[in-house]
Every structure is written in C-alpha cells, then in structure tokens.
Structure 1
Amino acid sequence: MRGRINGLPWLKTIQARGAARRCVVVPPPPMSAVGRCRCRRARHRAASPHCCCESCRSLPPAPRQICRQGLSPGERPEPRRRSTMDAKATAAEAFVREPAAGSTLNVLGITHIYKATGAETGGSFSLWESVVPPGAGVPPHIHAREDEGFYVLSGELVIEFEGQSAPHRVAPGGFFFGARGRRHAIRNVGDKPARVLVFCAPSCGLDQMFAELDAATAAGTPEMAKVVAITAKYGVTIEAPADPPH
C-alpha cells in the first residue's frame, strides 16, 4: 500500500521471518526533524563526497559552490591590475593655494589665474579664475572631452548656449554649466571686468591648450585660423564668429 502526505511518500517496508514483504504508511516526522535530517545527510555527503549509501543517493547532486568573484572553493583571485585611472587618482596630493598664488595666462585678452591644474589633481579637474575685460569673451565653441562650470564672482556675463533661443544674463552668485558636446559662448557686456571661477572636468588638455594660446597671444592677437587650429588639437571646435549677444 502506498500513501502520500503533504506531497511526499512516507513508506516503511516490513518483512517478518518467513513472511512476504509489505509496505505500510507511517506518519511523517516533524518538519524540524526533517530539516535536521537533511542537514545531517548533507554534511555527511560533504565530508564523504564519494559515499554511495542509500541516504546519500536520495539527496540531489550538490551544487558547485561559487563565490561572488566566480571562484570555486580553494581558488584564489588574481591580483587586481591597476588601471591608468587608478594611477592618476593616486598621483594627486593634497595642497593649499594662497589667494595671490597660482600660474597666470593671457588667453586672447582674458586672464586665467590657476587654482588647480590637471597635473596637480591627477587629471580629475582644473580650476581657475578668469578675469574678463569689458567687451571681451569667448566665441561659440563646443568641447568634445570635458564639461565646464562657470560661477560668477563679480560683474555680469551674457551667455549663449545651445537649446536656448535667447541669451542669459548671469549676475554674481549665478552659475552656468557648459556640457560637453553643446555649443556655448560667453561675453562681458558690462563696463567693469567680470571675475568668474571656472571648473573643468576631467582635465583632458585644456591647460595645455590655454598655454599655447598664451604663447600665441604674446606676439599680438593671433589670427582666427591659428586659434581654430590650436583648439582643434584638444577637441574644442570654434564656430564661425557671430554677432555678439546683447
């Protein structure tokens, strides 16, 4: 006779001396006992993986244990290779820059006072203060490698950027984010110099580009064709001059 309790067969074979074998249904053990039994059998088979007793044969095949790194027990992970980004991140050291300190560049009439260069931050970012004279500015251009942030400290800037039909005036305390791949232009239309804190991330060569423009400016205002050629080497595309924003 066969019986099934909770979906599981619980059979017991009885054979007396000289009698035929017969199966009877016996009550199942408590679930706690079943759990302890299965755990005990699993531990037994783990200790004796080649055991072929009836208890072990009734257990399902033991799954291959894999750790989070995809390794089997006993395998050791390979040493982690340091990437170029790791090397750059560990190359930077903490530093303090005094108010009057920092290298200065003349970039087409705009003064750059560096507070942090890409070489000092391991390529993470560059930070400088721009002093923009009245009437000066940056023509429409697009960055392919970095994003820029502009925080106006004093004065007022007029900013044109892609996606907006009209220029925006940014007063002290205002901020503009120039995303890579998006055209933008900046001009000081006031009668006083504007001071702007400019953040560039990551630092992909703008420091070197500005240094080349500084050298080109030393001999006088360079032709636009030369400026376009210099900036193109660093992933910056200058568009044809347009009427300045008002």
Structure 2
Amino acid sequence: MTLKLVIGNKNYSSWSMRPWLALRANDIPFEEIFIPLYTGAADKQRILDFSHAGKVPILVDGEVTVWDSLAIIEYVAERFPEKRLWPEHPAHRAHARAVSAEMHSGFAALRNECGMNLHRPVRAIELSEDARANIARIEEIWADCRKRYGRSGPFLFGRFGAADAMFAPVVHRFRTYAVAVSEETQRYMDAMMALPAFAEWTKAGLAETIVIEKFETA
C-alpha cells in the first residue's frame, strides 16, 4: 500500500518539507496530498479529517497515521530500514538523532525572524542577538558533523539522511535572508541545493501563487 503524505504550501511549510524530502530523496514512493494553509474552515477541516492535531505534515500508511515531522521520519526509517535514513553505527545514529531533535525543538528566534518564504527576494535583515546565536549554533552543528562523519559524502553524516532532512529548511532560510556563513557552511548548503529532491521542492514552491500575508516578512 502506497504511503500518503499530507502537506501544506511548499513555499511556506518548512515542517512539510522535512518528511517530504526524506521520502523523495530516498526514492520511497508516496502519494502527495496538498492542503493549502490558512484558507478557511473547509481546508482546516480536511486537515482535521486526517489528524485531530490539526497540523501538517501527516503520514498515512494504511491504518497507521503519524503526525509531526520528526515522528514521521522515525516511522519511515523503521518502515524502510534498507534506506538507512539514520547512520548504521549506534554512536553516529545517536548523534544524528540528537542534532535532529535539537533542530525540532530549538532555534525559535531564527524561525520567528526568518520564516520560510521561497518567493521572498534575497536580502539581509537586522537579526536579534538570539537569532545570531541560533545561526552560530547551527553552523557549529554542521561543521562538527561534517568533520566527524562527512568523509563518505557531502552531507552531515556522509550520505543524505534524516538529519539533513530536518535541517533542509534552514538552508532556504540562510539563502533567502542572505545570512553570512562560513565557506564550510556554504559548501554544505550548495550540496543540499544540488540535491534533485531539494530542487524539485523549491521549483514547486516557487510555482505556487497562494500568498499567506502573515508569513510575508520584510
């Protein structure tokens, strides 16, 4: 039975991007169900019909329904172990899970000040001290992972995996808001943006015409 992934607008929905990218980049077949966000009660009810949490993304696998980006990625990793979404070595896998969880629960200032919006013209903004600290920590995570585990490929743990999917929207944020980054960070961003699945999501997001005013920032 084909998986179904319920997502929001590709231009804005960073949480939808994460499991979508994990699936697509690892050639896991799924049916995409798009429900536009903040368009009214009817579309909100469509989301609620899939999950009472009322948020995207949502994964449906037969009688199993999973919501929340990281929970979906964990489920997919168990469902398709041959895809190796997490590193095989226990210590490496623990590290990948730790940085993914940190991304999942942290970096509020960066999220709030640099919302994902693929249509936004590339330009820098004045960032708070907290947002700059978030950026420094993310660069530290990426550099540390690349130094420890990146010998076998251009991604955080060598091959593309769950941790890269969790950080993927940050690549868009850094690019869109013209964040000054190190050469090492830029190399990682370039590798991510060159990934066919990443490019596919970006192209589709740029083709969208729905504007959500609350996400349109300076």
Which one scores higher on RCO, CA 8 angstroms, separation ≥ 6?
2
Calculate the TM-score normalised by the size of structure 2.
0.24
Name whichever structure is richer in helix by fraction. Answer: 2
Name whichever structure is richer in strand by fraction. Answer: 1
Choose 1 or 2 for highest CA Rg. 1
